[in-house]
Structure 1
Amino acid sequence: MRSISFPVARALGVFLGLTSLSAAGPSTARAGRPAYPESPVHEVADTLHGHVLIDPYRWLENDTSAAVRQWTDSQNRFTRQYLDNFPGRAALAQRLRKVYELTVTSRPNLEGRTLFYSRRAGDQNQPIVHVRGPGERGPDRVLLDPNTLSSDGTVAVDWMYPSPDGALLAYGTSASGSEKSTLHVRRTDTAKDLPDAIPNTSFASVAWAPDGKSFLYTRHPARGEVPGGEEVFHAQVFEHRLCADPARDSLVYSGEGRPIQETRRVSTSADRRWVFLETSLDWAKNDLYARPAGSRGPFTPIAVGLDGETHADAWGGKLYLLSNVGAPRFHILTLDPVKPDLQSAKELIPEQQGVIESFRNAGGSLAVAVTEKAVSRVLLFELDGTLKKEIPLPALGSVDNLTGEPEAKAVYFSFASFVYPPAVYRYDLERGRLEPIETVSPGIDPADFETRQEWVTSKDGTRVPVFLVHKKGLAMDGNRPTLLTAYGGFNVSEQPSFNPSAIPWLEAGGVYADACLRGGGEFGRDWHEAGRLERKQNVFDDFAAAAEWLVSQGITRPERLAARGGSNGGLLVGAALTQRPELFGAIVCQVPLLDMIRYHRFSIARYWVPEYGSSEDPRQFDFLLAYSPYQNVHAGTRYPATLLTAAESDSRVAPLHARKMTALLQAKTGGDAPILIRIESKAGHGAGKPTAKRVEEAVDVLSFLMMQLGISPG
């Protein structure tokens, strides 16, 4: 992306230029313009790399301020009054509740011939952890029901790691979507917890010892142990013995001398003989170390200082490495663990047409999950690398959580697609049969819909895939209400997945479009690199190209085209809003990053600097300023109807982004389309949100979209 320099005298709305600090009320309301709650202006001037930036709503960054609380309450009331006026709201809510009550199984994990998985059905707020075994076809029973941990369903299971024999489960819980986990250990035979409770284990990893009596785990410091605000960094590896005092856990890896935002993860090999340590300062690279399980010696470097990712497993006296160093779509290598010299590694499975995502030794076969043209495939290889067969999947869709064991007779994974709710499948290696672990009434007939993949040409000529979903036989008349979504970042692949809120949209005659943009992982390392740092504008160009294609192909028109994105996808639609407002009739911008000049100062955002860059760097400041949505709102521009959402307990993206952008858009838009914000209490970035809250949010989002695009529930 070209680097753009902004002279001090040039103004972008009220952000650049020499102005005095002042306080002012909202602009005078025009005919037809919503009477927004007051958002006082208190300008703060910053000088960065010779540029003066004026921030009129810096005060909205303060989460604990009484003024911010009053502003939030006023905005929520205003939004509530607006959305409650949608005539089809009751019917929409009824249909959404039915879709969200569909039975969903997910997160399979096979350990010690015992299958662990999550299941949610009916109006349960949180998925329940089930266990089946010992023996893969043993009785199924409830192991952990988080719905019993709070009266409102806001305590969630964040992560879980079974012991090698399947007798114990280490798991983390947190409240209100905060993801501030506390580690617990539960016996699978009695479904009772041991006394162990270890706080500060957000996003933890766990590597069990072979005997199941201890484990390595990652933990963050407690408040007061590091400077304020740094508690979300400084991850360290400790060893914990069951029923011992966590305060006396021995430190295994301190990371001393390393940047505080370095991530550390531990894992155990399939044969339980090795423990792996991965460290990373970049979303596209990591260092890999290993040591024998049970050893207290140092970790041996396996792949350190390389330009790419390398991950490991082990069995049969060999290390198996999944690496994209020199192979952008990954290949699988074998290596002698006694002399782990990468120069002597042998290629077992070469780079495929698609991206190799993961592999498992399952019953003496190598099960490999591959993403090809943004669609999942599961391949079975002999252990010598010879391709045996491909496991047929129910439809074009996505596979997650591939799991198996060398001594097992099956491989498990979760499968989902646009009109297929997530379900755990078991592939019998002896009979060659794929079937769900539970047969349930689907509630949706996939035959009523059609899914196809199209390709659009972006600004620089790059071809970008877009999935289209709609009712079977639906006529494309150039006037179809269409919802376009995407992500485009952090090497995350946008694949066919189940979004319950899309079902009422499709049933009402809408078109659902999902674009696979650069910055994601759909086509490997090069695709990711083409959409980050100074190349981030490519992502926005790809999205605009998808929107233009939907119009040019006679599917919709701008007034009936909406964009929706969350988190990094919220940044995406924020950029679409400011760069191409004429392309869209409505925008839904959820838990977004929007002030890219200051984002890295808040929450855990320092982890994201390798992906976005930092305004503290003069060169990176230029390209961040060029696209940062908050700094590119222009007074008098007619912005489309916009709904921003945020959550008070969000530990990833601070809600200040949505607050500041809402106030600015309300003040500066030259049109009468509504600018609304929905700020949720007792909720976070999305993980662990109870079903009741998911339904409430979906009703609001779809009510807003249907109101703007002129569509009624089917």
Structure 2
Amino acid sequence: MKSQFIYYFLSLVWLTQCITDKDANQLSIQNTYFSTTVEDPYRYLENVKDAAVLSWLKTQDAHTKETLKKISGRQQLLEKIETYDKMRADAVFDVKVLSSDAYYYLKYAENHEANVLYFKKGIDGEETAIFNSQDYKSDTKNTYIINYFQPSWNGQKIAIGFTKNDEEFSEIVIYDVPSKTFHKEVIDHCWPSELGGIHWLADNSGFTYLHIPDIDTTSSNYILDTATVLYRLGSNPKDLHILFSRKTHPELELNPEDFPIVNMFGQHPNYMFGRVGGIGFKDYYYAPISELGKEKVTWKPLFKKKHKVEKFLPYQNDIYFLSAQKASNFGIYKTSLDSLNFDKPTEIVPAYSDKILKDFTITSNGLFFTTTKNGVLANLYQLRDNNIENIVLPKASGSISLSSIGTEFPDLWVETEGWTSHRHRYRYEAEKSQFTTENVTSVVSYPELQDVVVEEIEITSHDGVQVPLSIIYKKGMRKNGNNRMLLNGYGCYNWINTPMLYPYLLYWLGEGGIYAVAHVRGGGEKGEQWHKAGYKTTKPNSWKDFIACTEFLIDEGYTSSEKFAVWGGSAGGVTIGRAVTERPDLYAAVIIRVGLLNTLRSEIAPNGQNNVKEFGTVKDSLGFEALYAMDAYHHIENNVAYPAMFLTSGINDSRVAAWQPAKFAARLQAATSSDNPILLSVNFSEGHGFDRTQKSKREELADIISFALWQTGSEKYQVE
């Protein structure tokens, strides 16, 4: 099916000589997939541990840093970003409410290199600092931050996850609150911020978490054959008590790449639930909580992938669940635990025709749910006496998040967000139909966001489908083609690009530009069918939708190709990368953060086996054709005038290998016929960016905005 032919024989000395210059030489490698032969001239860059490759990456990064620092307005912008960050110095994140009078959350430390875990006894209680991450292993050169925490039910212990250098994987240490000391045991090889979290036992004697045997991103066994384990306080973390894994439960036919994660709901659950799968819908099993004491848990089927369950909650003796099985826009259903039937459940809230059911929760006051239209207009409802009641929000919202303590408690928190406003947090008292502002973080107003216009429209794509497009600009904007545009797109994993105040948006508007978001197929803005319309063999719709949005913005006079910048990141690299390789004439500047750009090789990259579920596999002909079509690297053509590009990568990236942007940059530098810069930034001490320091985020933000303004002709931002 697949054969490889290597047509070169080079000594290490010659290889080193080839790639010590800024431009990398091409080494001819061919792969034949079925009847198609594919050239891969920069395959050798995948070995980022090779000294010669590292030297080339360092040369690229040094050149990029030197270039960006010469942009005249960059330093002033960086100072402005720092000033605005200080205005939100008390900003909190990852708020967890254990009870109505126990609030836990994180804040950045004063040095912006670390973060601090805090506690409040009630929303108006005094803030108490629990632990500063800069004090963890302070004798090392590594930068640690807290990327996960979970208090025990009685609040006496806190499992705190520390990650170093943006690797995302955690070392979990148990903090004893009364004595203000850590237990000596350290639990490593876990990723609770992304995979399953931590679930404390009812008696606070231990918790469950997902153990990852191999966390080396260059290993062929990276994050494979994981297992949910039960850890008892004081025991040796190396002695794994496995509850759910491929090895212990071969009868369930798990795949190596599946994540067997166990969930528990509330402090005193009757059942625990085991999920199988990674990306997309999952198979679920359940077992009585009493099985925790047995040598092997007997897992019984709950529901299958075919039932398309997005979320579920056990309530009394029923399972309530959000599903797209009967309608792409999702409905809410229930089935009894005594007689499970996910094929013919009881309908609780029917699917809407013009918007999707996005989320729900249950409190002692009943069931609450949210909807979203085109991913940008959100509403909140309550099911009361079998009637659906619209709950009027304090202000219109682009997105809504719900949280509660549990089904036995009345507490409900509603968080709203929009393109031009940070998150607002409210407590909702259902008995009084009343919202009370409960912002843990003070809300900041920015002068750049005064008199801003938000257009939510739909445009016609290449095949006649209507694609949502959000356009944000200052009042008084004239459609004369002279406005600088920054367009964002993603379109993967059923993720909805909901309104939020992106820093890119804030500082771009501050420089007089227009910011826009293309809600392309592959995302979840219009339900499950929207995702499947930009998935595997239908993936071309993602970048063709993006191109259609680009053409609309130019044709309608919002901007011109000379003033058009685009940005995207991670899996959104597919959308942006293929848009620019298919229509390079439309854009002046392209920014891709840690982007997936070489999909033909993604299967052997970090988490590649799980990404097969979203993008496909080269092991079958249709899968290969789809991956080849979406591979931006393999669609670069010689002697084409490509726009200016700024690509970033992180050596410690646990999601997208650093060589993906590197190969794309090398190929572009060799192929382009234009003099536009192709810049590659390589962060040698960080990864994907989720757990990086605030200082590092500011530096990159200044780089991105400065680059885009430089390349779209801003007189203020020019290379000196």
TM-score, length-scaled by structure 1: 0.90
Distance 1:506 1:185 in 2: 44
| Conserved 8 A contact 2:202-2:267 | no
- Within a 5 Å distance, the mapping from 1:419-438 to structure 2 comes to 419-431=420-432, 432-438=434-440
Q: 1:408: Cα distance to partner?
A: 4.1
Q: 1: CA distance between counterparts of 2:548 and 2:424?
A: 33
Provide Cα deviations, 1:156-182, integer angstroms capped at 9, x if missing partner.
Answer: 333333434444433422111111212
RMSD, matched Cα? 3.0
Unaligned runs of 5+ in 1: 1-7, 9-15, 27-34
Amino acid paired to 1:420 = S
Displacement of 1:86: 1.0
Structure 2 residue 243 is the aligned partner of structure 1 residue 241:
no
Q: Does 1:79 align with 2:64?
A: yes
Equivalent pair of 1:365/1:381 in contact (CA under 8 Å): yes
Q: Is the 2:157–2:174 contact (alpha carbons within 8 Å) kept by the matching residues of 1?
A: yes
Note if contact 2:214-2:223 (Cα within 8 Å) is conserved in structure 1: no
1:178-577 maps to which residues of 2 (within 5 A)? 178-188=167-177, 192-202=181-191, 203-205=194-196, 206-222=198-214, 228-256=219-247, 257=250, 258-270=254-266, 272-281=268-277, 283-296=279-292, 297-304=297-304, 306-342=306-342, 345-352=345-352, 353-375=354-376, 377=378, 379-382=380-383, 385-392=386-393, 394-400=395-401, 402-431=403-432, 432-438=434-440, 440=442, 442-445=444-447, 446-577=449-580
What displacement does 1:494 show? 0.5
Look up the match of 2:93. Answer: 106
Tell me if 1:615 matches 2:618: yes
From 655, 673, 676, the counterpart of 1:673: 676
Residue matched to 1:49:
34
Q: Which moved more, 1:592-601 or 1:289-298?
A: 289-298
Number of the residue aligned with 1:163: 152
Highest RCO, 1 vs 2 (Cα 8 Å, sep ≥ 6): 1
- Render the CA deviation track for 1:312-351: whole Å, top value 9, x for unaligned: 2223333222222223222222332233333563222222
For the 8 Å contact 2:189–2:215, the answer to whether it is kept is no
Structure 2 residue identity aligned to 1:260: P
Distance 1:579 1:227 in 2: 31
Q: Deviations over 1:566-591 (max 9, x none)?
A: 00112211111211101101101110
Aligned to 1:31: none
- 1:597, distance to aligned residue in structure 2 (A): 1.3
Aligned residues: 689
1:692 equivalenced with 2:695 (yes/no): yes
Shift of 1:262: 0.9
Find the residue that maps to 2:428 and give its secondary structure. Answer: strand
- The aligned counterpart of 1:3 is none
Instruction: Give the deviation of 1:91 after TM superposition.
Output: 1.2
Work out whether residues 453 and 468 of structure 1, in 8 Å CA contact, stay in contact via their aligned partners in 2. yes
Instruction: Point out the more displaced range, 415-424 or 514-523.
Output: 415-424
1:149 paired residue number:
136
Q: Does the CA-based 8 Å contact 2:259-2:278 persist in structure 1?
A: no
TM score, norm. by length of structure 2:
0.89
- Assess if the C-alpha contact under 8 Å between 1:419 and 1:498 holds in 2: yes
Contact 1:106–1:424 (Cα < 8 Å) also in 2: no
CA distance in 2, matches of 1:381, 1:191: 42
The structure-2 alpha-carbon separation of the partners of 1:452 and 1:263, relative to structure 1 and needing over 3 Å to count, comes to same
**2:55 maps to what in 1?**
70
Instruction: Report the residue type matching 1:345 in the other structure.
Output: P
Supply the AA of the counterpart residue of 2:551.
E
Once the two structures are overlaid, the 10-residue window that deviates more, 698-707 or 113-122, is 113-122
Would the alpha carbon gap of residues 127 and 457 (structure 1) be closer, same or farther in structure 2, given more than 3 Å must change? farther
Matched-pair contact (CA < 8 Å) for 1:101–1:122: no
Counterpart CA distance in 2 for 1:393 and 1:540 is: 37
Shift of 1:285: 1.9
One-letter code aligned to 2:552: W
Following the alignment from structure 1 to structure 2, what is the Cα–Cα distance between the partners of residues 223 and 335? 39
Aligned partner of 1:644 among 625, 647, 654:
647
Range with greater deviation from structure 2 (433-442 or 254-263): 433-442
- Whole-angstrom distance in 1 between the partners of 2:374 and 2:445: 29
Quote how far apart the aligned CAs of 1:552 are. Answer: 0.9
Q: CA deviation at 1:443?
A: 4.2
Asked if structure 1 preserves the Cα contact closer than 8 Å seen for 2:328 and 2:528, the reply is yes
